[in-house]
Amino acid sequence: LYNSGEIEVAAAVREAVPKISIASLERWIATRKKGEPVVLAGRFGNRKGAGKWENELKALLEYLIGTFTRQPHLSVPQLRKLVRAEFCPNGDDSVVISRDGVEKVLPLPALSEFQVKIREWKQENAGLYLQITSPGGFHNACMLSLGDSIGPIARLNPHASPHYLDCKIIINTRD
């Protein structure tokens, strides 16, 4: 009925979906019965990487992430001040970006935008962030460790402190 035009729908719907097959209808009904009607609405959020940060402010984003990875202890307001000092030569909040020999003046993004970018980077690069901020924590959480903790000691750690060596000797002589 739909394909023959007997069912009236808006012109925009007819333009977007000119024909429907039986298989498509069955698939849509099954999806709805599974409780996943969101799938029927279409794919949204597929423009990741197409925003102003990734296009117009790419140099600023690279500087921000580079500075953050070198100095992860800095707060977001401090990072924003560093970006402002590097990209705002006039001392105001006008970012000057040179791209393909053309200078473009854009407003410096708000603090909240910097916070969002840093939060996104931390989520997307959780392992790297952990390795930068806590190398020991990274090794404990992410590195594979083979062997058993109660096995016999083959040799003492040559770089250990004297106190460590004393403790190992005491523990091993208690048998």
pLDDT digits (tens, 9 = 90+) for 47-85: 565 667 777 788 888 899 999 999 999 999 999 999 999
Mean pLDDT of the 18-25 span: 85
Task: State the pLDDT confidence band at 93, using cuts at 50, 70 and 90.
Answer: confident
At 71, list the tokens: 């100095």
Residue (of 92, 94, 89) closest to 108 by Cα position: 94
Q: Which residues of 86-101 are buried (b: 16+ CB within 10 A; e: fewer)?
A: ebbeeeeeebeeeeee
Q: Which of 21-30, 74-83, 116-125 has the lowest mean pLDDT?
A: 21-30
Task: State the pLDDT confidence band at 112, using cuts at 50, 70 and 90.
Answer: very high
**What pLDDT score was predicted for residue 80?**
92
Residue (of 44, 48, 79) closest to 61 by Cα position: 79
**What pLDDT score was predicted for residue 153?**
62
This prediction has a pTM of 0.54
Whole-number average pLDDT of the chain: 78
User: In angstroms, rounded to a whole number, what is the distance separating the alpha carbons of residues 136 and 128?
Assistant: 13
**What pLDDT score was predicted for residue 141?**
81
- Report the amino acid identity of residue 58: K
